Amino acid sequence: MPERKNPKKSAWRRALTPPPAQHPDDRVTARAEASGGEPEPASIVQAALYRDGVRVSAPATLADTFRELREQPSGMAWIGLARPTEAELLSLAAEFDLHPLAVEDAMEAHQRPKLERYGGTLFVVLRAARYLDAPEEVDFGELHVFVGPDFVITVRHGAAPDLSAVRHRMEQTPELLGLGPEAVLYAILDAVVDGYAPVVSGVQNDIDEIETEVFRGDPEVSRRIYELSREMVEFQRATRPLVGMLHSLIAGFAKYGTDEELQRYLRDVADHVTHTSERVDGFRQALTDILTVNATLVTQQQNAEMRALAEAGFEQNEEIKKISSWAAILFAPTLVGTIYGMNFEHMPELHWVFGYPFAIVLMAVVCTGLYVVFKRRDWL
């Protein structure tokens, strides 16, 4: 491996800018079409050979890539595929002696992040992420990387990450690219981890909005909390395994004598992953706490509404008792007056001298008695 020339990380680890749209070697398909040949299948995004960190050729087909790599023993092949066909993966497996289990994982996708070594080949599965602000969703892309002594093969399932930007950036830093396949793996890991930062920022912003909505009493906030919590579960599954993976990779780099500066860069990526994983864990806990607070606030609101209904019902009962009491009091003289107003000829007390005063006193006594009874029962 060529001697390290101590490249400055700031020279290449900057804001990712995609390469020019008309770069002559950006896509093998464009190159094949320009030469008048049949265009390569869309799954082959890029294929290039490098020597001492400099691109020496961009073969149009996998067969040409294999042939040129054999002719240049000191070179390195970097092949990028997007949703490749089974035939393409099998041809790569036969050429580079890839393990069947790793090839099977790359075909099926839907793998969790992991790091496995098959002989002299590393197989790495990564989950890249990008945040979609409008639907508040995290879009995950799966990336499989085969790293061998003289080759790097990337198999991408999804839109993220932008590996063309990674390749362009590495080609601008030949001293780093000259360190070989391990440097390419580092650059890919760094790009995936850097892609987590906008996701973390977007989620933090949404959590702040959710907190405001919770205390404002928005009825739709519970659904928003639940959906964002599900996204954080997926994000956690993408980031948490990376911590152990990177520590294992650092130990392997030390074991196989990889460049010390590259080991330092990899430790920096591990620190970023650890920080991101801790932030994601914090987001999950925060969303759980917010959901609990929201449930408490909803319960309090429901209790307040029930209490208001109970108070309204109590006031209505009080009014009904008053009305009923006065109706009973007024009913007594009406009953007496009605009986004495029948004008029957043979009727007791009809011709009695004290009949009228007796009727009046009887009405007064009954009304007073009813008033006293209702008053003692707090109906009046």
Please identify, among 150, 180, 210, the residue that sits at the C-terminal boundary of a domain. Answer: 180
Which of 51-65, 284-298, 333-347 is predicted least confidently?
333-347
Q: Which pLDDT belongs to residue 328?
A: 78
Evaluate whether residue 101 is within a structural domain.
Answer: yes
Count up the domains in the chain and report the number: 2
Please identify, among 117, 149, 180, the residue that sits at the C-terminal boundary of a domain. Answer: 180
Q: What is the CATH number of the domain that holds 24?
A: 3.30.460.20
Q: Are strands 76-82 and 44-51 parallel, antiparallel or unpaired?
A: antiparallel
Segments of the chain assigned E as strands: 44-51, 54-57, 76-82, 114-118, 121-132, 137-147, 151-157
Residues 170-196: what's their mean pLDDT? Answer: 90
* Helical pair 86-96 and 62-71, crossing angle rounded to 10 deg: 10
User: What are the C-alpha distances in Å from 366 to residues 340, 361, 370?
Assistant: 16, 9, 6
301 vs 22, higher pLDDT: 301
User: What are the C-alpha distances in Å from 89 to residues 60, 84, 98, 154, 283?
Assistant: 17, 7, 9, 11, 38
On whether the pTM is more than 0.75, the answer is no
Evaluate whether residue 366 is within a structural domain.
Answer: yes
Phi, psi of 336 (to 5 degrees): -65, -45
Evaluate whether residue 244 is within a structural domain.
Answer: no
Q: CA–CA separation, 366 vs 336, rounded Å? A: 10
Evaluate whether residue 360 is within a structural domain.
Answer: yes
Domain that holds residue 328: 316-376
Is pLDDT of 59 > 90? no
Please identify, among 180, 195, 213, the residue that sits at the C-terminal boundary of a domain. Answer: 180
Whole-number average pLDDT of the chain? 79
Evaluate whether residue 356 is within a structural domain.
Answer: yes
Q: What is the pLDDT of residues 303-315, one digit of tens each?
A: 777 888 877 877 7
Residues 331-351: what's their mean pLDDT? Answer: 70
Q: CA–CA separation, 33 vs 228, rounded Å? A: 45
Residues 195-211: what's their mean pLDDT? Answer: 89
Is pLDDT of 123 > 90? yes
Evaluate whether residue 155 is within a structural domain.
Answer: yes
Q: Which pLDDT belongs to residue 41?
A: 43
Q: CA–CA separation, 96 vs 99, rounded Å? A: 9
**Which residues is 55 bridged to in the sheet?**
50
Q: What is the pLDDT of residues 11-40, one digit of tens each?
A: 333 333 333 333 333 333 333 333 333 444
Evaluate whether residue 295 is within a structural domain.
Answer: no
Which of 58-72, 77-91, 139-153, 332-346 is predicted least confidently?
332-346
Is pLDDT of 291 > 70? yes
Q: CA–CA separation, 143 vs 155, rounded Å? A: 6
Q: What residues have CB less than 8 Å from 8, skipping those under 6 apart?
A: none
Evaluate whether residue 30 is within a structural domain.
Answer: yes
Q: What is the pLDDT of residues 218-233, one digit of tens each?
A: 777 888 888 888 888 8
